[in-house]
Amino acid sequence: MTAVFVVNSGSSSIKYDLFDASTLESIASGLLERIGEPGGDAADHTAGMRAVLASLPDDPIVAVGHRVVHGGSRFSAPTLLTDEIVDEIDALSALAPLHNPANVLGIAAARAAMPDVPHVAVFDTAFHQTLPPAAYTYAIDREVARAHDVRRYGFHGTSHEYVSREAAALLDRPLGELKTIVLHLGNGASATAVDGGRSVDTSMGLTPLEGLVMGTRSGDLDPGILLHLARAGYDTDALDELLNRRSGLLGLAGRRDMRDVVTAADGGDQDAALALDVWAHRIRKYVGAYAAVLGGLDAIVFTAGIGENNPALRARALAGLEFLGVSVDPVLNGSASREARRISPPDAAVAVLVIPTDEELEIARQTLAAVGTLGG
Ligand code: ADP
């Protein structure tokens, strides 16, 4: 039995998954943390990768898939890694200073440990490279935008792609004829309008900061707020810290974990109650906007930690959208199933679905497809 290995490398972590290359069943998975720190799981990424590989079952690995956060405008598909491609990914670090250098560390460690196996980069941004210019262009001076690669790229692409395809399968309809809004609601959160399998608009932008209210990120705000705070003395690092690490649910309610926010709101905490209102209002606004962008709507899909697990928040996010044909059946929505399922009434115009995402599985599948294609 042969296997495909999936690597998601952070600056001090390596998350890995091993799949059977023919059935795509999971064989093994795990996480190394605090790499390079005293008492951490490994001294560096190279040592960590060797330890992981030594711990795996003996199934020969035929390909390695790497999650890469930012592919810029350069990468719109899974790409076989060469030294030149790794340099290009590294060069995109200006757009994703926290993520791409960490991804490159994992790529280097895995290529050193498995030099004779094809390695493939699968980009979080790739699925959104189909966005039309009207959706990806920010209305700023075009020369400035060009000089600094300022445009909407979008993220969570692997999840949005996987989930929109699974939605078509669940509805037993061709992907090519479905207009779908995918709501990926986890710690990070994004909404994508998918028309016939192609991403046509998405809420995250140049960076994963734009759009929905997240665990610690603000999502949308008036860019004038940054100018206002800069004039009040906030420098770049302070603004970065405020918007990426101290905003969203944490900023509004003092808690980043949605379960804690819900518990606090249920206990009468007014800040937590407002946080839930802002969170749901933002989602509802995007659903309306994307229904307009798509010019119709067949399905809405909930996925990721909050989207898969919280019926009350799903119902709240879509409350008041009956005029669009959107409604949620309380019994179907409340079921504790962990399977992909429909939660709208059978006769509703728009199918509302819950579909567990699986980014690692999708990376494995795309990696094998890329290797198969390249091998002729
Ligand atoms: P990440 O973006 O880190 O991959 P996940 O997709 O795992 O995140 O989602 C994590 C979020 O999901 C957390 O805010 C967590 O509180 C939330 N979550 C998980 N289960 C529930 C639940 N039953 N109700 C509300 N929130 C939940």
- Listed in sequence order, the residues at least 6 apart from 369 whose beta carbon sits closer than 8 Å to its beta carbon are 78
**172 tagged catalytic:** no
Mean pLDDT of 213-220: 97
* Burial 259-277, CB ≥16 within 10 A → b, else e: eebbebbeeebeebbebbe
Pocket of ligand 1 (CB under 6 A): 186-188, 215, 257-259, 262, 304-306, 309-310
Mean pLDDT of 128-155: 98
- 215 CA: nearest ligand 1 atom: 14
Mean pLDDT of 124-151: 98
| 81-103 pLDDT per residue, tens | 999 999 999 999 989 888 999 99
Report how far apart, in Å, the C-alpha atoms of 265 and of each of 87, 249, 272 are: 48, 12, 5
Mean pLDDT of 32-58: 95
pLDDT for residue 13 is more than 50: yes
What pLDDT is attached to residue 233? 98
Q: What structural domains does the chain harbor?
A: 3-123 (3.30.420.40), 172-359 (3.30.420.40)
Secondary structure (DSSP) of 266-302? HTT-HHHHHHHHHHHHHHHHHHHHHHHHHTS-SEEEE
| Among 17, 124, 201, 358, the one annotated catalytic | 124
pLDDT for residue 36 is more than 90: yes
Residue to substitute in 212, 276, 309, 316 for testing ligand 1 pocket (most ligand atoms within 8 angstroms of CB):
309
Q: How far is the CA of 213 from the centre of ligand 1 (A)?
A: 13
pLDDT for residue 375 is more than 80: no
Please give the Cα distance from 66 to 15 (Å, whole number).
10
- Listed in sequence order, the residues at least 6 apart from 2 whose beta carbon sits closer than 8 Å to its beta carbon are 20, 21, 22, 59, 60, 61, 62
Torsion, Cα 165 166 167 168, to 10 degrees, reads 60
Contact, 304 vs 159, CB < 8 A? yes
> Among the listed ranges 64-73, 75-84, 93-102, 341-350, which one has the minimum average pLDDT value?
93-102
Q: How far is the CA of 219 from the centre of ligand 1 (A)?
A: 17
Mean pLDDT of 212-221: 97
With a pLDDT cut of 70, the percent of the chain lying above it is: 99
| 279-318 pLDDT per residue, tens | 999 999 999 999 999 999 999 999 999 999 999 999 999 9
pLDDT for residue 2 is more than 50: yes
Mean pLDDT of 231-251: 97
Name the strands in the sheet holding 3-9, side by side, starting at the edge strand that comes first in the sequence: 26-32, 14-20, 3-9, 61-68, 119-123, 79-80
- 262 CA: nearest ligand 1 atom: 25
- How sure is the predictor about 376, in pLDDT bands with cuts at 50, 70 and 90? very low
Q: How far is the CA of 248 from the centre of ligand 1 (A)?
A: 14
Please give the Cα distance from 190 to 178 (Å, whole number).
19
Counting runs of H as helices and runs of E as strands, what totals does the chain give? 15, 12
pTM here? Answer: 0.96
- Listed in sequence order, the residues at least 6 apart from 272 whose beta carbon sits closer than 8 Å to its beta carbon are 252, 253, 255, 261, 262, 264, 265
- 187 CA: nearest ligand 1 atom: 2
- Listed in sequence order, the residues at least 6 apart from 29 whose beta carbon sits closer than 8 Å to its beta carbon are 15, 16, 17, 18, 360
Q: How far is the CA of 318 from the centre of ligand 1 (A)?
A: 18
Residue with tokens 């119709």: 296
pLDDT for residue 374 is more than 70: no
User: Mean pLDDT for the chain?
Assistant: 96
Please give the Cα distance from 124 to 142 (Å, whole number).
25
What pLDDT is attached to residue 5? 98
Mean pLDDT of 158-171: 98
